[in-house]
Amino acid sequence: MTIADPSLGRIVSGRQQPSTPAHAPAREPYLRMSWTDPETGAVGHLVVDTLVSGLATGGTRMRAGCTLREVEDLARGMSNKTATFDLPVGGAKGGIDFDPKDSRAYGVLTRFCEAMRPWLDRHWVTAEDLGVPQHLIDDVFDDLGMGQSYHAAISRSADPARTTDRVRAGLHATAPGGPLGDVIGGYGVAQACLAATEHRGWDVTHTTVAVQGVGTMGGGAAWYLHDAGTRVVALADALGTLYDPTGLDVPALLETRNEYGEIDRDRVPASVHLLPREAVLSANVDILIPAAVSYAITADNCDGVTASLVVEAANAATTPDAEAGLTRRGIAVLPDFVANAGAVAWAWWLLLGYVDDDPAVSFERLGAEMRNRVSGLLYSWDLGERPVRAVAHAAMGQRPMYAEIHIP
């Protein structure tokens, strides 16, 4: 056990075996670390699954009930994402068991980052995740004198000031649907859906979609799918499901969201049906996008899924037994480490100078990369009975270690 500065809380690291993860690992993660906040008793976790070039990347989430098992699953997923997109970095994740709506949440996040500072200074590149928007974690990093949450990578660059300017310009560039840094992940999910639509020969304008979650990932995916001409017929937030079989006015509804990603029910048209939150999973649609919480589709509810394609915009959205059941029914589950990896891929392209603050350049690159991967996976999946996830794992191949990484 390692004791940090007592003012920062208690940190425990080790190789203890957690409960069985959602997708059973073949190896142990590089590091597990847990921390207890001295002021609130909140518990936070860091899991570094892999280190590549001495770096690992993955967001920090905050939600009541967040567990070490969950963070470990997510860290493993980050390793899969960076491998899928051939990024010169490993996978990690942070998670805090605390309600992000609590007035003390900013202090908890600040103390967690301060406790994890040895990793955030040199090895762990973090970003937004569930309950922690990018602007909030950037404010914490600024308060702690690290400037921006990509600090560990930026500090390695040839010109940290120039790299910081490039990162900030890219994150805040104005794109259709919102700031580029907020919408790029959802754009990638939408491109994954459109690639699947093309692969299956569906007419985009007759393709129906249901989205669970209207945060940056789910909201962005819904916006770009609506913009492409698909019919988004169901949107679910924490308050329930909005349903209109003729198609929802996605941009208008998203405009009414509050800071917690909840749509203002007073501004929902009378023609829209107000259904229970869980109804989105059983909506009669072609594509279901779980974009809210992990483990949303389980053995208990997967029989209600009628969509022929599930696209995981949330991390670890489908449990293994649910995925097996869906696969047996001929329902393809496009795994998170492909479908929602656009955000992390884009962030590293921005760090490495492959893209800049021009949204058109970012959209063109991400769209092409996502279409190639998804069409190839679905083609291979159509030839066999394995889950799409197994096909994607097989396609990863061996990772180079990137002994040197050049960030301009």
Residues catalogued as catalytic = 93
Give CA–CA dist 21/103, Å, rounded.
32
DSSP code, position 21? P
Give CA–CA dist 153/212, Å, rounded.
33
Give CA–CA dist 334/128, Å, rounded.
22
Structure tokens at 258: 């509050």
Give CA–CA dist 290/367, Å, rounded.
20
Helices and strands (H, E) in the chain, number of each type: 14, 16
Give CA–CA dist 359/186, Å, rounded.
14
Amino acid identity of residue 254, one-letter, is L
Amino acid identity of residue 61, one-letter, is R
Structure tokens at 306: 């009628």
**Angstrom distances, CA of residue 19 to CA of 23, 68, 294:** 11, 9, 16
User: Is 299:322 a contact under the CB 8 Å cutoff?
Assistant: yes
Judge residue 48's burial from the number of C-beta atoms within 10 Å of its C-beta, 0-12 exposed, 13-18 middle, 19 or more buried.
Answer: buried
User: Is 113:11 a contact under the CB 8 Å cutoff?
Assistant: no
Amino acid identity of residue 355, one-letter, is V
